[in-house]
A and B are shown apart, each in its own frame.
Chain A
Amino acid sequence: MSEPLIALAPSQIAPAEAAWRLPQARAYTERKPLKPDRLDQAVAQVVGLVRAGLAGVSARRYGRIAHDALAQAQAIDALSDATLRERVRGLAGRLRGCTTFRDADITDAFALIREVSGRVSGQRHYGVQMMGAAALLDGRIAQMATGEGKTLTATLAAGTAALAGLPVHVVTVNDYLAERDAELMRPLYAALGLTVGVIKEKQELAERAQAYSCNITYCTNKDLAFDYLRDRIALGQRASDVRLKLESLYTAVNRLGQLRLRGLYFAIVDEADSVLIDEARTPLIISAQAGSQFADDVLSRAMEIAKTLASPRDYAIEASEHRVVFTEAGRARIADLVSGDGAAWRGRVVREGLVRQALSALHLFHRDEHYILRDGKIVIVDANTGRVMPDRTWSDGLHQMVEHKEGCALSSARTTLARMTYQRFFRRYARLSGMTGTTRGVAAEFWTVYRLPVVRIPTHRPLKRAHLPDEMLTDEAEKWKRVTQRIAELHARGCPVLVGTRSVGASARASAYLTGAGLPHTVLSAAQDNAEASIVSEAGQLGRITVATNMAGRGTDIKLGPGVAERGGLHVIMVERQDARRIDDQLAGRSGRQGEPGCFQAILSLDDPLLAGGLIKSGAARRIMALLGHERGQAFGCRLLRFAQFRTERLHARMRADLLRSDQMQDRILAFAGHSE
């Protein structure tokens, strides 16, 4: 399980002074949680596989919608602004009148929005964007190649749904993107008569409620989920529609007035694979301060004991699952060591828990990899993105143990108030949809978990990206030598280069080698702010060298500078395989956008972190590669790494499935305690 994302509990909630609006038909709409039994689950798995295979077929209907909408273009083009507004209002009335979107209405809506967009910003949607938008309205995942203009695509679907009266949440992966997209599209929405809200960090309740009360709200997945979680705390148990409405009748300060969201109606999730699949394992927790669970001396004693234990004899470290497992001998040894240590140590579960956390702190969590020290405090670093997460803590005394190890002042422990996962959250949307560049290997999972079918949308222009064959080198040093050599070559030609790494550490190493070779370059720290996005968007300029993790500047278009296209476009070099092939594809998708030329190349080594703990150790692999000769050795190495990647993908998929299952089981067991948030 990933380390949980923890946010602090909301302080005293002041009643919101939201503008008066029409009361909602249902208070706080959300979909009833799916309670599938085993048969449902088995069927869903089969259907998921079938649907994943049919991803290309269902696009036809959307093609027809796009075609019809484009056919109206000329007629609408001739309309005056006033008539156009009139038509939009008429359409809104029609849309509100029915519960489902009819193809004819969608066609009209798309044609109108396209024209409005054209008049406001000069951007008229392409056919494929309309296809994508139609899929979104249909509650599907639109798989669109990177650079196909997903932001613009979303406006069609969001605009249509908002005109139909549904509160729309457009979910992006970071604050910067949310704000940028909202500002970019605000004029279009305004012209349609729709309001747009943006959720940012550090907004207060009233501001948030205000933003969520807009027709269309741009937000990040994290903010959205936490806001929902806080709402659930405010709602408490027994928050049925009727209860809430009755309550609002007889009290002035009622629960409905303390909410941020209006309910979960329609969400368009950008980078759906990242949000719905990769981050699915991250538990979201709202916690409150609580006194420390363990005294200082207990922690230090645990550390002491942990240091006397030896690895194969007393415990084993399961690197793949990031945990420590004791052997029988280890258990006996701990019992032996603490025999004179007083009450806190008498319980077997307690003492083993303490020592386990101590061992984890010592051997599984490393400074500058999993956390950094800042102002005498432990700050956790996100393993996926390399971002620092100041508001996160580890649970069950682990945080205190790490603080103890680093000699920091012990922070107080936190108790959980509410907890959920993205899996649970997004399944509650009455209508969920998403966009992503690639769904390779997870299309079936989209169906089984979220009941989201995937639709493959064709590209607007044919792809002109070249894939050079993967290169496999025997070790890390060799690899970097080859990488710098290759970059120098490309740099000399003036080709912009993007080096994609897996972690911040690898980025730093790449930077060191490039500096050594005297190559000017920029390193992205995945801070995900304005500056980062602008650096990424500059990465396409002549002669640029940019080093970034896969997450850095996600969603940002890398536009080619003048003269770059003639030199072969952006050249992407991958130096480490990612956790999933899908993420490799994302990296490759950084180049060759919208029919531009581009090149992708992977330069890898047998020291790749994915191979650690695999079937064949890197030493053995090296010998086999040498035995097989150059050509077959390369093929073998690449296969080996692909297989390791496949294993990792499968492991993660299984962990996600386990999490969902244990979540559901917990829910069943704890049914008497009300719902979990």
Chain B
Amino acid sequence: MSQSLFSQSWYRVAALRPRLRRHAEIHRQSFRGEIWYVLQDHQTGRFHRLSPSANLILCLMDGRRTLQDIWERAARRNEDDPPTQDDTIRLISQLHGSDLLQGDLPPDLAELAERAESTARRTLMARVKNPLALRFALFDPDAILDRLAPFYRPIFSLWGLAVWLAVVIAGLVVAALHWGELTGDVANQMLSAQNVALMLCLYPVIKALHETGHAVAAKAWGGEVHEVGMMLLVLFPAPYVDASSSAAFPSKWQRMMVAAAGIFVELFLAGAAAIVWALAEPGLVRAAAFNVMVIGSISTLVFNGNPLLRFDGYYIFADLIEIPNLGSRSNRYFFYLIERYVLKIEGTKSPVTANGERPWMLFYAVSAFVYRTTVSIAIASFIATQYFVFGVMLALLALVGTVVSPLVKGIRFILSDPKLNGRRRLAMTVTGAAGLAAFAILFVIPLPYTTMAQGVVWVPDDTQIRTRTDGILTNLLVQPGRDTQAGEALAKLEDPSLDSRVAVLQAQLAELRLRYDAARLGDRVQAQILQEQITSTQEILRVYSERQAGLTVRTEHAGRLIVPGAVDLPGRYLRRGERIGYVLTADDPVVRVVVPQTDVDLIRNRTQGVAARLAERPEEVRVGAIRREVPGAQQEIPSLALATQGGGTIAVDASNPQKPIALQSIFVFDVQLAGGLPFNVLGERVYVRFDHGSEPVAWRVLRSLRQVFLSQFRV
């Protein structure tokens, strides 16, 4: 749009004699070396940022001068860049829209009513659109805070800072000293049912103190706090305080301090809690202290301190880099860039008002969008897993908010915005091409599609050589690594007690036989007893002899003898059934791969090739093929190496120490690698890639979405 000094609507306002209403207050602030004026509306608690020329116009409005007069004066004062009439009209109408103007015309009641109605509708729409952050105002704490001022004002001093620093540093030191203890099993501890209950009790208290921090800081420097309320943040109640009056503070450090006060409070609590935790005996107090520590430090810094979310961190950050309205202006700047450089619209207005804002804005616009989108989708899916209908609604709402509505707005802009008149074809070409490219990447261009899984080198059970009796292994009869014949003796065990036992038994048997001979003729009854004893002893002796024979370990198949840790073996006492080694033929070792349920269908039906890397030699890729698959799901995992504790990917039930049981059903595949496996990597981890050919991305997303619905919601 071409800019002109004069406006065709000027005649409508030229004769007005407006005046700023009394409750408005103007504050002078400096951003990036430039002076701005902030108009504070005490009635609504809103702020308007004014440029110096707008401020001049505002100051000239005294209820006696006409707007024509005011504009002429302002233009004369600013000859280099006079405010245009349109600018002036916009300013006036904004002020009017915020009820900050008093004019010589009586108020138009119909218009007032309409405006009130539209404001109410907007508020309602904002709630409907954002049901994850509903606010309910409760009361006005200003008077109470005034009365309590003597108690908290001293905190905002050097002494206060010193105490704060002392506690926080002490807490840090304590935490560092007990680092191992603290981080031992945080996840498990934090998420146990008992602890969640404790946290639910502590959280509101800590957050209430956090909000008190904001309120008190705002009051300490002369601000006002008129609203305390309850916010349903992701359906979880959290207190909030309206400390926005701090925006009027002239010093950015004060503004930042008010925004940061909550975090300061929580860090202080965390520091104190760390000390208590270190001193207290195990019990409720210690557990509570631990929770306070975690909430007050980690959760606060990650959540409140994060500038990408619209919480405290955002305001601190915006004040720190002196870019007010960072969020909305960044977005505008981003669209400005598109309009200016992609669509080539001449005369678009850049929202940049000072040097050095550009990189910040660009960076913020992109990262905040990505981050917020991710978080909102994550939150929605988390809630969806808990409450299906509600969650799906939320997820849809999040989808509408983050994807659909910007898309619709963009399309409407391209199709009908008057800014694009004359350039619409270019705009359509550019967006069409971009859309087509996105479509092609998503739906048309096949990209390599693979599934990654982990497995272990595995040998069949019958190739294992196990002892058949307890004993000390004296020596291996066949050198490990050598080929053996079926039935060949491999190792010799020794069990001295067994030998003596056999000797004793043999002696007993001889004695019994002699006694039997003696008694046979005389005492028949006695002889009968002895006969029984002989049979029994013979039986025992047979068993022991067999055991004795078992001391010589033999193989049943021909193959190569593999004995892991062969050097340590001689002299070791082995229990019955313990594994000595393997007798393997070349194609015996396979890779036993474990995959979660979500991937099993793909691997079964669409595997076109398998490749594997051994954890020991990751540089070497080996080709393989699926040799066997276990048709049913199972919970047992073949090797602890595959569990998360062992560095794998399968989560196991920690409460069952005997057997590694996967939390979710798993499926097992045996993969035979071409060229076989060396025998020295048995039990080792293998990374396996199943190749499914190529497929466009969108279909995969759809498939996994369907799986999510199937598994989470059983629909």
Task: Enumerate chain A interface residues (CB-CB to B < 8 A).
Answer: 35, 237-238, 283, 293, 318, 320-321, 323-328, 343, 346-350, 352-353, 356, 395-396, 415-419, 654, 658, 666, 669-674, 676
Give the residues in chain B near A321, CB-CB below 8 Å: 421-422
State how many angstroms separate the Cβ of B20 from the closest Cβ of chain A.
Answer: 13
B6 contacts the other chain (Cβ, under 8 Å)? yes
B79 contacts the other chain (Cβ, under 8 Å)? yes
Cβ contact within 8 Å between A352 and B3: yes
A347-B5, A349-B5 as given contacts; A417 in contact with B418, CB under 8 Å: no
A238-B106, A669-B90 as given contacts; A353 in contact with B3, CB under 8 Å: yes
Give the residues in chain B near A666, CB-CB below 8 Å: 9
Q: How far is the CA of A674 from the CA of B90 in the complex (A)?
A: 15
Q: How far is the CA of A139 from the CA of B84 in the complex (A)?
A: 43
State how many angstroms separate the Cβ of B678 from the closest Cβ of chain A.
Answer: 69
Cβ contact within 8 Å between A325 and B103: no
Cβ contact within 8 Å between B3 and A349: yes
State how many angstroms separate the Cβ of B235 from the closest Cβ of chain A.
Answer: 30
**For residue A342, which residue of chain B has the nearest CB?**
B79
Cβ contact within 8 Å between A419 and B5: no
Interface residues in B, total, Cβ within 8 A: 36
B523 contacts the other chain (Cβ, under 8 Å)? no
Q: How far is the CA of A348 from the CA of B103 in the complex (A)?
A: 31
Give the residues in chain A near B92, CB-CB below 8 Å: 672
**For residue B94, which residue of chain A has the nearest CB?**
A669
Cβ contact within 8 Å between B105 and A327: no
State how many angstroms separate the Cβ of A380 from the closest Cβ of chain B.
Answer: 18
Cβ contact within 8 Å between A347 and B80: yes
**For residue A651, which residue of chain B has the nearest CB?**
B421
Q: How far is the CA of A310 from the CA of B10 in the complex (A)?
A: 33
Give the residues in chain B near A418, CB-CB below 8 Å: 11
Contact of A670 among B5, B12, B101, B115 (CB under 8 A): B12
Q: How far is the CA of A671 from the CA of B103 in the complex (A)?
A: 12
Max chain A Cβ within 10 angstroms of own Cβ: one of B5, B82, B347: B5
Question: 1/0 contact trace for B106-118 toward A, CB 8 Å?
Answer: 1010010011000
Cβ contact within 8 Å between A350 and B5: yes
Give the residues in chain B near A654, CB-CB below 8 Å: 416, 421
Contact of B346 among A325, A670, A673 (CB under 8 A): A325
Cβ contact within 8 Å between A346 and B2: no
Give the residues in chain A near B12, CB-CB below 8 Å: 670, 673-674, 676
Cβ contact within 8 Å between B11 and A417: yes
State how many angstroms separate the Cβ of B78 from the closest Cβ of chain A.
Answer: 8
B189 contacts the other chain (Cβ, under 8 Å)? no
State how many angstroms separate the Cβ of B337 from the closest Cβ of chain A.
Answer: 15
A237-B105, A419-B11, A670-B93 as given contacts; A348 in contact with B346, CB under 8 Å: no
**For residue A672, which residue of chain B has the nearest CB?**
B96
Interfacial residues of chain B within 237-278, with CB under 8 A of chain A in the complex: none
Give the residues in chain B near A395, CB-CB below 8 Å: 8
**For residue A288, which residue of chain B has the nearest CB?**
B11
Contact of B4 among A325, A353, A658 (CB under 8 A): A353
**For residue A657, which residue of chain B has the nearest CB?**
B416
Cβ contact within 8 Å between A320 and B422: yes
Cβ contact within 8 Å between A343 and B79: yes
**6 more A-B residue pairs beyond the given contacts A416-B10, A671-B96, with a C-beta to C-beta distance below 8 A:** A323-B2, A349-B84, A352-B3, A671-B93, A672-B93, A676-B9
State how many angstroms separate the Cβ of B426 from the closest Cβ of chain A.
Answer: 13
Q: How far is the CA of A418 from the CA of B16 in the complex (A)?
A: 15
State how many angstroms separate the Cβ of B504 from the closest Cβ of chain A.
Answer: 103
Give the residues in chain B near A671, CB-CB below 8 Å: 93, 96, 108, 111, 115
Interfacial residues of chain B within 329-349, with CB under 8 A of chain A in the complex: 346-347
State how many angstroms separate the Cβ of A331 from the closest Cβ of chain B.
Answer: 9
**For residue B81, which residue of chain A has the nearest CB?**
A347
Q: How far is the CA of A346 from the CA of B2 in the complex (A)?
A: 18
14 residue pairs from A and B, CB less than 8 Å apart = A238-B105, A320-B422, A326-B346, A347-B80, A350-B5, A350-B82, A395-B8, A415-B11, A654-B416, A670-B13, A670-B89, A671-B96, A671-B108, A673-B13
Give the residues in chain B near A283, CB-CB below 8 Å: 8
Question: 1/0 contact trace for B348-383 toward A, CB 8 Å?
Answer: 000000000000000000000000000000000000
Give the residues in chain A near B2, CB-CB below 8 Å: 323-325, 353, 356
State how many angstroms separate the Cβ of B15 from the closest Cβ of chain A.
Answer: 9
**For residue B12, which residue of chain A has the nearest CB?**
A673
Question: 1/0 contact trace for B68-105 toward A, CB 8 Å?
Answer: 00000000000111101000011011001000010101
Q: How far is the CA of A350 from the CA of B114 in the complex (A)?
A: 37
Q: How far is the CA of A346 from the CA of B90 in the complex (A)?
A: 23
Give the residues in chain B near A670, CB-CB below 8 Å: 9, 12-13, 89, 93
Give the residues in chain B near A326, CB-CB below 8 Å: 346
Give the residues in chain A near B84, CB-CB below 8 Å: 349
Cβ contact within 8 Å between A327 and B79: no
Question: 1/0 contact trace for B124-159 toward A, CB 8 Å?
Answer: 000000000000000000000000000000000000
Contact of B5 among A328, A353, A669, A674 (CB under 8 A): A353
Give the residues in chain B near A318, CB-CB below 8 Å: 422
Cβ contact within 8 Å between B82 and A347: yes
Give the residues in chain B near A343, CB-CB below 8 Å: 79
Interfacial residues of chain B within 296-312, with CB under 8 A of chain A in the complex: none
Interfacial residues of chain B within 1-55, with CB under 8 A of chain A in the complex: 2-6, 8-13, 16
Max chain B Cβ within 10 angstroms of own Cβ: one of A321, A350, A419, A654: A350
Give the residues in chain A near B16, CB-CB below 8 Å: 672-673
Q: How far is the CA of A396 from the CA of B5 in the complex (A)?
A: 9
State how many angstroms separate the Cβ of B706 from the closest Cβ of chain A.
Answer: 34
Cβ contact within 8 Å between B89 and A672: no
State how many angstroms separate the Cβ of A669 from the closest Cβ of chain B.
Answer: 4
A318-B422, A326-B346, A672-B96 as given contacts; A346 in contact with B79, CB under 8 Å: yes
Give the residues in chain A near B421, CB-CB below 8 Å: 321, 654
Cβ contact within 8 Å between A327 and B9: no
State how many angstroms separate the Cβ of A339 from the closest Cβ of chain B.
Answer: 12
State how many angstroms separate the Cβ of A5 from the closest Cβ of chain B.
Answer: 14
Give the residues in chain B near A349, CB-CB below 8 Å: 3-5, 81-82, 84
Give the residues in chain B near A419, CB-CB below 8 Å: 8-9, 11
**For residue A674, which residue of chain B has the nearest CB?**
B105
**For residue B90, which residue of chain A has the nearest CB?**
A669
**For residue A324, which residue of chain B has the nearest CB?**
B2
Q: How far is the CA of A328 from the CA of B348 in the complex (A)?
A: 12
**For residue B67, which residue of chain A has the nearest CB?**
A673
Top 8 A-B pairs ranked by shortest CB distance?
A672-B96, A416-B11, A669-B93, A673-B12, A671-B111, A673-B13, A346-B80, A353-B4
Q: How far is the CA of A346 from the CA of B92 in the complex (A)?
A: 25
Q: How far is the CA of A672 from the CA of B13 in the complex (A)?
A: 9
Give the residues in chain B near A238, CB-CB below 8 Å: 105-106
Give the residues in chain A near B346, CB-CB below 8 Å: 325-328
Q: How far is the CA of A451 from the CA of B4 in the complex (A)?
A: 35
Give the residues in chain B near A674, CB-CB below 8 Å: 12, 105, 108
Max chain A Cβ within 10 angstroms of own Cβ: one of B10, B79, B115: B79
**For residue A666, which residue of chain B has the nearest CB?**
B9
Give the residues in chain B near A327, CB-CB below 8 Å: 346
Cβ contact within 8 Å between A396 and B422: no
Q: How far is the CA of A237 from the CA of B104 in the complex (A)?
A: 12
Q: How far is the CA of A418 from the CA of B10 in the complex (A)?
A: 11
**For residue B115, which residue of chain A has the nearest CB?**
A671
Cβ contact within 8 Å between A347 and B79: yes
Give the residues in chain A near B9, CB-CB below 8 Å: 419, 666, 670, 676
State how many angstroms separate the Cβ of A350 from the closest Cβ of chain B.
Answer: 5
State how many angstroms separate the Cβ of A655 from the closest Cβ of chain B.
Answer: 8
Contact of B347 among A325, A350, A672, A676 (CB under 8 A): A325
Give the residues in chain A near B81, CB-CB below 8 Å: 346-349
Q: How far is the CA of A415 from the CA of B14 in the complex (A)?
A: 11
State how many angstroms separate the Cβ of A514 from the closest Cβ of chain B.
Answer: 39
Max chain A Cβ within 10 angstroms of own Cβ: one of B11, B80, B96: B11
Max chain B Cβ within 10 angstroms of own Cβ: one of A238, A349, A353, A356: A349
Question: 1/0 contact trace for B437-451 toward A, CB 8 Å?
Answer: 000000000000000
Give the residues in chain B near A353, CB-CB below 8 Å: 2-6
